[in-house]
Each structure stands twice: as structure tokens, then as C-alpha cells.
A and B are shown apart, each in its own frame.
Chain A
Amino acid sequence: MKRRFPMTIMFLFAIWGGISVFVGKTKVHDFDNLLRNKLLLIVGAFAIILGLGSLIFHHTQKIKRKARFWQYSYVTLIALAVTTFIGLGGGVRGERSLPTIFGGTVIGAHDGLVYVFTSQAEKNLFMDEPSRYADPTKAVLELPREFETDFNRFEASQLREEIHLKHTALQLKGQPIPPMISPVSNQQVAYKKEFKISLQQLYEGILVPCGSTMFAMLAFYMCSAAYRAFRMRNLHAGVLLVAAFIVMLGQIPLATAFIPGLHELRQWILDVPNLASKRGIMIGVGLGASATSFKIILGIERAWLGGGE
């Protein structure tokens, strides 16, 4: 039961998947779309809980056991909690409710008019039923046509910059400023200094530098390894080394600008021998992968069931 039942289910879904590839526009096709786009998506989404649970479990255990470097587990857990809090509370761009926006101005738009609110709650009320709460006399400015669709992606300060930019451009050209962007009184749209932490800022300020620097270190390791271990011990290693040198030199402007034909030679290596070797390997791997897939579906390969009964 504990092994056969999951294997049977797996087999049935595999049969369904196989059929779905070959049917035309029928009810089967429609249900397959539903299965893939909605139902399996929901099933798969729960896997994140598994990953998250394992991460939290690992670090709490580390702290509990006072394992080596356990103090750092606090950093991970706190960072996880704070990021999730900012993300769920503040939204990706800090557009959701407090408390991740401090002193920011909240703006909303309806029917081509822009309103400024004192709190996010006030804005939420307005956005839920704009026609009821919209009062044209309270609007601070008329929305330029191009912002109508654009509005949701603009933050308050961006919107102001855009209007200011357009304003200045027209002034410089000595053209009259059309009414749609002129009634911006500085008082009304005096945006307070914003201090806002959004998920996007955490992404650009923490995720991007950390992630890319970790991989950037590989450049140094690779240089060190190339110096110590890349030896021309036999013909095969020699061929590899020569091909590598040509490809490397053929891709830098400092070499291709001065050595005629180098760029073309690199291209030839990639186009002919490289292509043949990769195609050979690919066909082999493709056949192997297809065979393994069949073995899984037919229940011959059972590693996915894991250990236990």
C-alpha cells in the first residue's frame, strides 16, 4: 500500500500526460489545460512549505544543539522572518499596508484624477469603492493620459518626477503648459521625505550583491586551479588546451583586433568539432534520459520513493 498506491497514481498520471500530448482540441485537451495551469500548480505550491520547514528545522536544531557556528542560524531565521514580514505586509514595491512605509505619501487615482491620502487605510477604502469616495474637489491633479494605464506601477515620487520632467521640458521650449499638468500646486503635492523599505530594495540591496559576489569568487578559484592543475600531460590534454586558448583569445577584442582570422577560427571550432562532440553527447544523454523516464513510469526505477517501507 505505502509503495504500490503512490506508484499506481504516478502511472495513471503518466498515462494521462502521455495521452494529453497527442490529442487535438477536445474536452481532454481542455481538462489537461486545467490540470496543468491550476490543479497541479496548487499541488506543487505546497512543496515550498516542505523546503521552508526543512530550513527552519535545520536552523532551530542547530541553535538547540549549540552546533558549530550556531549563532549564525539566528541571522538566517531573523532575515527570513523580517523579509517575509516586509514582503507580505509591505508588498513588492511597498504599496501595501503599513508598517513598512514610514512617512510616505499615499496616492491613488480614479477617473483621471489623483488623490493624496494621509494613510494607507484611507487609500484602501477609496480603492475598494472609488466611485463612492471620489470627490473631484479633493483631487490634487489631473492625470496625464499616459499615466492612466501606467499608474499602478508608479510610486508617488516617480510620478512627481515624471510630471516635473514634462513640465520643465515644455517650459524650456517656451511652450504653454497644458492644463492637465499645470494645476500641481507645490503645497498640495509636497511629498514628504519617504523612508520605505520594500521587498524590491531588499532584493537589490542584499540578494543581488550577495548572490552575484558568491559566484564571482569562482573566477578567482578558477584562475588558481588553472595555474596549478591545468597540465599538458598528453595529446588529449594538449588538444583541449589549444582549443581553449583559441576560444579564449578569439572572444576578446584585444586579441581579435590585432590577429586576423582569430575570431573566425574560434567560430569554426565552435561550429564544427565542438558542435559534433556536443551533438554526440546530447544524443547519448537524450536516449539515456528517455530510457530512465520510461523506467520511472513503469516502476522499474523506484529511487524517487525514498527509503522506508
Chain B
Amino acid sequence: MGGYWSLRSWDARKNLLLVASYIFYGAWNPPFALLLFATTTLDYWLGARIAAAPAGARKGWLVASVTANLSMLGFFKYGNFLLENTQWLLARAGIAYHPPHLDLFLPIGISFYTFHSLSYTLDVYRGATTPTRSLRDFLLAVSFFPQLVAGPIVRAADFLPQCATPPNPLKHRLQWGLFLMSLGMFQKIVLADTLLAPVADSIFGHPGPVLPLDAWTGVIAFSGQIFFDFSGYSTCAIGAALCLGFHLKDNFLFPFAAVGFSDFWRRWHISLSTFLRDYLYFPLGGNRVGAVRAAVNLIIVMFLGGLWHGAKWTFVVWGLIHGLCLVVEHAFRTLTKDGAWKETLPAKLLLCLVTYFFVCISWVFFRAPDFSGAGLLLGAMAGQIPVGEAILTTREILQVGLVIFGLWLVQWRLRDTSLEAAIGRKPAWLIAAVWTLMLGGIILTQGSGNAFIYFQF
């Protein structure tokens, strides 16, 4: 960072960031850095074609971009999934088909950088941004290392304007960036990997039935683990970008305090939900096309949102549960549109609890290795399995309970504000003490941690 800020030329700084980003990505698997370069360059060229084309031909160039991006994503991520399902369907029709298993290596972060890049041509087509003249800036927008492999999904339209003027090394911004990086690492290393992941892993990895208390504890632990894991990465990315003078938008906004599923998706993985909203839900007609069609649109969007996470039907079911819950919530809102009782504190707390309950049910499908594992766990949660083991210690159950309750309490108190605003109101000594505790926790948790869950997507 010292080297970066010591460079006087803004172009030199951007060049350094671009080289560093490609080294960061190529260190994992160099050939895939070429793939990243090729995808980005193609979208840069197609973006220029869309802007230059007459009105009738613009759509063709956009289709080319969407097809190229989704084909590459589909090949690497869904190739085997498609072949296996084709085999299954043909077998139902009595046709024996034995496709070869494609020995594919999933490029890390492909779902994220494909969307980074695709957002550019989509925005140029919509007129939301003008095509950039600088290939270097566009390459940097897609490959910027803090957000490259696990988000947030940064739209080129948000990033490219920041490449136009050089930022200054402001003390406040640097300090806030470092604080966010510490917070993100604390969330990931201490809260997700140390206090929650072992419980979630032992429940979801257990080959047999468990007691209801153990099953619920495991699922609740996973709900916290995936939040701290993913939010931790996003917070680190936002902090690292800030230290380099770039602003990335928030990706999480206290989702445990969500009252309803619409509210949940305004707070959870915001960069994905807004991407799907702007580029899929709205073009499908959104909620302006009648209640039934709007419900179908929601289901389609959440179906694809589930599939975006991985080539497994369990992810699709996760998405469909969210889609159904959104549809039910819209119907509920229509039926109770005049109910002032919804704004009372007890009602909000109840609706928050109901939302969390269904979010947890959906996490079972997200995390379980297959449907039989999910079924076994749901059966245990419902108390429908006659035998089951107690595999968690009382200490682990208390630990998960305390962490999740603490998380909910903090998020409930902050639900109508932002982290920066909330911290800005606290005295400096308190922030220093909390920051020290977080760093102390990180230092106490040395060793090889787990990879970020969203790296696989």
C-alpha cells in the first residue's frame, strides 16, 4: 500500500493495481487469468459495438455478450450438471445415454467476475453508462483484486467513474478501511471459523440422525457461519478497496434483523439481489404485470438465483423456498395493507422471527450435501426421527446460542442505520477497545483457517 500511494502518477497506480490483481488471480491457476482477460476484453469490445450500433442492431451485440458470458459460465460451472440431468431425463424416456464426465476445473470466482463484466454491456445497452475508452480501466474494474473472487458484485458503472480522478490518501478513509478489514477478518476467522463452523460441520457432516436440539443448533450455527463468512469477505474487500481509495457499496445491511423476505433481500448479498432485480426481474416486468405474473417472475428470479450458487438441485430448492416466501409475503402484504399492527414492536419481532425460521429452513438445503441429508436433518428438527444422537457438547450449544443472540441483538439495534454512522457516534476509546479485542481474537486464532464458502461459487 505504501508503494501504491508513493506513486505520483494515477496511471501508474492503476497499472500497479491491475498487475497485482492479475498476479493475485493467476497465483491460483495461471491459465485462468488468460480466461479472465479474454472475457473482459470481449465485453470491452462488445460494449463499444453496442454504443456505436444503430438502434436496431444494439440488441444483437448485447445478445452476443450475454451468450458469450453465460456460455462460458455454463460450460465450466454447469457442464456436468447438464449432462447428468440430460442422462436422467433420457433414462426416464427409456433411452440409455452415457455422457463422458467432463473433468472440469471451476475457475475460482467465475460467477462473480462474469457478472462484473456482464453488468458493463448490460448498462451500456440500457444507457446507464457510456462505454469507457480505456481497456486498462475496464480490465481493472472487472479484476480489482479485493472483489474479484467472492464479491461484492461491483458494476462497472459504479467502478469506472472512480478510475477517472485520482483519490487522495485521506487519513480518515485509511483508518476506516483498516477498521473494516479488521472487522471482516474477525467475522471470518473468529466468529465463522472458530465459534460456529465446527458445530455446523459436525451436524451437517454427521452420517446419522441427531436429536432435535442438536439439529437446530447446527442449522442456526450455519446461518451465522455463512453470514460471518461472506459478510466478513465483503467487509474486508470494502476495507481494502477503501485503503486504496475506491468505494465499494455495502453487500450486507444487518440481515438478521429483516422483517419479511423482501426486507431480507434488501439486506443480504445486496449486490446479487440488486443485479437480479435490475437485469432480470425488471426486464421480466417486475410487479407491474399483474399479481400472478409478478409471482411467476419472482419464482424465476429466485430459481436462477439459487442455480447461480452452484450446479446442484439443493441450491435450486433453496432459491425456490425464498421465491415462494416472497410470493406469500406479497400476498400477505396485499391482504393486510391497512393493518397498522404490523408496525408495532411485538409484530415486527414476531415477523422477524418467522422470517429467520424460514431462512433457516432454506439453509438446510443450501448446506446439506444432498436431499436425503436435508430430509434427515429437517426430520430431526421437527422431532420426527425416533432415534438420534447427542453429538454437541452443552458448551457448543451455549456458544452458538450466545453468538447468534448477540448477533441478532446488535443487528436489531442497528437495523435502521449504517455501521459507519453507528460507530461514528461512539467515543474513540470504546472503538479502540473493540478494535483491540477484535485484533486480539484474530491473533489468538492462528493456524490454517477454512476457505471462504463463497469461493466455490
Genuine A/B complex: no
